[in-house]
Amino acid sequence: MKIILFDFETNGIDSESSVLEAAFIKIDLDQNGEIIKKDILHRYYLPNIGEAFDLSAYKTHGLSIKKIKEKRNCCSYSESFKDDQMSNDYLSFFKDVELLVAHNIDFDSQFLKYSDEFEWFCTMKDMKNVIKALNVNGKIKNPSLQEFCEYYNLKFDTTKAHGALYDTEMLTKGFISAFKNQDIFIFKKEKIENEKSIIRNKFNFRQTTVKEILFEIEDNWFVLSDKSLYSNSSFLRVYDKKTGNLFMAFPEYKLKDVLNNNEKILEIKSKLLDIIHNTNYKNKQNEFTSKYGFSSQVNLFEI
């Protein structure tokens, strides 16, 4: 799977601020979390013409105009990230990428014009309930990049923090550690044209809480979820993990009724087997979708 992890240092915090430093690390990751190939794109840029220099941002990243010019010495690329990101260098770098990853991706993605063309994963918001960093009041908060990395026993050098390349390198190490630790899962569609991947952590699908019980019946994997990825209904849904298609739902069951209850799980398995072996399966599914108003085209991977 081809993934780009990235970070920006900017001249301010609104979406019109200039990007002063951009760092992208592209990795081709295998199913075991090992890097097959790695590429880096790292550049410095001047503020847009007429834009005031933001001193509060400078105090964070330390990028003065003088320092940026020194870093750009002998560079032939555009002085503006806004222009440069549309160059062949960037378009080629982003080719065939399936996923973008950043720490607070909602902020960083607003500077990347074509970010909406990709799936996203945020190591800050989407890992909040995995890392469980606490604020001064003892409540779970969004983890800092340092807290995210240190959760996986990665040494974080605070003197290098807020350098886009260093932060992206640490982000990459943390992401791979989380993947290997099975705190992040990648699902891939099979047997479907235009193959697409999605990613979630063990507690969240994007920003929707999803707790799941997985089991296998006759070589098919099914996912029981207590919150639909299609709506806010709380009854149990079953998805075929091979295709991602919605298979069946059980309004009579709640997740709390099934968790650690082998009898309930066996009961649901028995019902699924009856449905699978029923020659009128299609009629049963049409009956289900008609009754609850769900399209039979609902797909776990496309929501």
What does 210-229 look like in DSSP terms, one character per residue?
--EEEEEETTEEEEEESS-S
pTM: 0.66
Beta bridge partners of 41: 24
Distance CA 145, CA 161 (A): 9
Residues of the chain with pLDDT under 50: 189-197, 203-211, 226-233, 295-297, 303
In this structure, what DSSP letter does residue 117 have?
Answer: G
Domain-wise residue ranges, the chain: 2-185, 210-292
Distance CA 32, CA 253 (A): 35
Nearest to 124 by CA among 68, 89, 167: 167
pLDDT at 111: 94
* Contact predicate 121/105, CB 8 Å: yes
Nearest to 167 by CA among 3, 4, 6, 28: 6
Nearest to 126 by CA among 205, 29, 225, 213: 205
Which pair of tokens denotes residue 177?
């550690």
Which pair of tokens denotes residue 57?
């941002």
pLDDT at 226: 46
Architecture of domain 2-185 in this structure: 2-Layer Sandwich (3.30)
HSE-CB at 272 with a 13 A cutoff on CA atoms is 26
Contacts of 214 (CB under 8 A, 6+ apart): 221, 222, 223, 224, 241
* Contact predicate 96/2, CB 8 Å: yes
Contacts of 21 (CB under 8 A, 6+ apart): 8, 9, 42, 43, 44, 45, 61, 63, 68, 163, 164, 165
pLDDT at 1: 85
Beta bridge partners of 150: none
Q: What sign for the dihedral angle of Cα 159, 79, 26, 104?
A: positive
